[in-house]
Structures are given as structure tokens and as C-alpha cells.
Amino acid sequence: MSHARNLRIDRIACTGQGLCAELLPEMISLDEWGYPVIKDQAVLDHLRTHTRRAVAACPRLALHLDDGPA
């Protein structure tokens, strides 16, 4: 069974350090205050490894990769 993986940000935990946008510019940009904006929540297959690394590197543990049924 195929699973959709979605990227999300915990807005309460995020302090706008911007590391996620540096590590995953294909999916995340920064707003005018330096907080991340996810361009498309669905994680494409070829970006899964990079997405996992960005999630693991978040200093505030505010970035999450959710698995769900496709």
C-alpha cells in the first residue's frame, strides 16, 4: 500500500531559525519575518530523504513528516 507523506510545521514550537529552508529549499521558503512557509505539503518520492534530514535537523523539533494513507 502506498502512503502519502505530508510535511507540516508546528507554528508554536517554531522560532524562525530558517534551517529547514536552507536544507529543503525545494519545499520550504521563508516569509518576511523569517518563518517557514511550506510550498506544497505532499512530499515527493525523490525528496523524502532530504525531507527526513530537514525534520531531524530542526533545532526546535517544529518540522514533522506525517505518514497517512494515499
Instruction: In whole angstroms, give the CA distance from residue 2 to residue 59.
Output: 30
CATH of the domain at 58: 3.30.70.20
In DSSP terms, which residues pair with 15 in a beta bridge?
A: none
| Assigned C-alpha cell, 1 | 500500500
Q: Give the angle subtended at the CA of 66 by the CAs of 37 and 47, to the nearest 5°.
A: 65
- CA-to-CA distance for 23 and 35, rounded, in angstroms? 14
**By residue range, what is the domain housing residue 57?**
3-69
- Residue-level pLDDT at 3: 67
How many domains in the chain?
Answer: 1
Mean pLDDT across the chain, nearest whole number? 92
Residue 1 is predicted with a pLDDT of: 46
Decide if pLDDT at 70 tops 90.
Answer: no
User: d(Cα 42, Cα 60) in Å, to the nearest integer?
Assistant: 22
61: which DSSP letter?
S
